[in-house]
Chains A and B, each alone.
Chain A
């Protein structure tokens, strides 16, 4: 790696690491929930990851609109990078939820509206990432994936409201400002966890956008390099000594 592309950890990276350590300490020291045992601690991963999945896809939506309005590729880099992180966080949220479900409901999966719609939302954004990989030209990729980035929000709304629209096994939304039913230390650990994960998202997004910009530079450089031309293999006959006598 050259000096131009190597970088030292930024302040944000360091803050993210410190925040994760702090959140971990909060989570492990929070009181045990008698009814669920240590499985309840999965809450400190599950809630922040699903919140970040929403945030990441909302950022993709907004950055997609910004790209279509402004036409600057930086917005496309933000949209694509955020969708990648959203897919990772959604996957972690689903796996975390399954582990918690096994401990609490005694099943890894149940055909609950929230679970099913979240899994479908994951596939919407896997399709978005597949589309991005299929288009090599940056401008074409940006414009077309921006449309899909906007369409993806259609799916986000039923996912969020599914626990209200249907009587489901999944509990209703954890954060209800007017009706917080959580002990103080557990709430503090959960909020610390949400804050830490959000900082991690910001740090990862920043790094991924930077990487996308480097990829664009590499793409432009590769396109600028003159490729082989038809007839390159044909060489001119040597002249000068062709008529020399032995």
Chain B
């Protein structure tokens, strides 16, 4: 890893976050959209508080997963061919670019998760006992989804149907993350060991990071 790796990765992350700050796509579109989804579920399944508190955690992570994909295909995250050529010609390490874009998306997804959690707890009457584990579950979920989103965005970029394909590519692959997140909470509720689910999530995050690092250069070369 060269000395320029982290400065380059941080510069890319800062650029993405600046673009998001200016457009406000996640803050003003994705977050309210996710909150509406959480509001719609009780209207569809009935407002029985027992049922809602039982399905609440699962619904929270389903919304995080499905609407988190929108963060990956946000308008500010899609680069034009000219922008991509400029990044390549500047000599930015493709791995640093992958890391930077993933960091920016992970931060946005973490904020999204926290806001969705804050909406779900009162709406669904979720029990906060053992929610300290969420400090591990939420960053892992955000990081895994961000890695998947960045990878799928790179795979599906620069052709017409690309952005439409990203949800189909990301959602099935994110299942281990969804299972890990929801099973950890279930394990807390039933006093069973929850470390194995966190380990599963950590392994998925690690595997995705390895795939991202290994394939960053070939993906840059196909632009």
Contacts and interface: CB of A to CB of B under 8 A. Distances in A.
A158 interface: yes
B176 interface: yes
Contacts of B204: 154
B173 A68 contact: no
B175 A148 contact: no
A126 B168 contact: yes
B221 A120 contact: no
B218 A124 contact: no
Contacts of B208: 151, 154
Contact of B172 (A145, A147, A155): A155
Given A154-B176, A154-B204, A143 B221 contact: yes
Interface string B172-183: 110110010000
Nearest to B156: A131
A131 B218 contact: no
B197 to A, nearest CB: 10
Interface in A50-81: 68
Interface string B149-170: 0010011100111100100110
Query: Which of B171, B175, B176 counts the most chain A CB atoms within 10 A?
Result: B175
B207 interface: yes
Contacts of A140: 222
Contacts of A121: 172
B218 A155 contact: no
B219 A131 contact: no
Give the interface SS of chain A, mostly helix, strand, loop or mixed.
helix
B207 A154 contact: yes
Contact of B218 (A117, A130, A147, A151): A147
Contact of B155 (A120, A131, A139): A131
A131 to B, nearest CB: 6
B218 A154 contact: no
Interface in A138-171: 139-140, 143-148, 150-152, 154-155, 158
Given A117-B175, A155-B175, A127 B169 contact: yes
A151 B173 contact: yes
Task: Classify chain B: how many residues form its interface, as a range.
Answer: 20 to 34
A164 to B, nearest CB: 13
B165 A130 contact: yes
B172 A134 contact: no
A134 to B, nearest CB: 4
B56 to A, nearest CB: 19
A105 interface: no
A134 B169 contact: no
A135 interface: yes
B23 interface: no
Contacts of A145: 155
B215 A147 contact: yes
Contacts of A175: none
Contacts of B118: none
Contacts of A134: 156, 159-162, 165
A120 B169 contact: no
B221 A123 contact: no
Contacts of B114: none
Contacts of B218: 68, 143, 146-147
A156 to B, nearest CB: 11
B211 interface: yes
Contacts of A144: 155-156, 219, 222
**4 nearest A-B residue pairs (beta carbon):** A134-B161, A123-B172, A127-B168, A124-B172
21 contacts: A123-B171, A124-B172, A127-B172, A130-B165, A131-B155, A131-B156, A131-B169, A134-B165, A135-B159, A143-B219, A143-B222, A144-B155, A146-B215, A147-B155, A147-B215, A148-B155, A150-B215, A151-B208, A154-B208, A155-B175, A158-B176
Given A131-B156, A154-B208, A158-B179, 9 more contacts: A123-B168, A124-B173, A131-B165, A134-B162, A134-B165, A147-B219, A150-B211, A155-B172, A158-B176
Interface of A: 68, 117, 120-121, 123-124, 126-127, 130-131, 134-135, 139-140, 143-148, 150-152, 154-155, 158
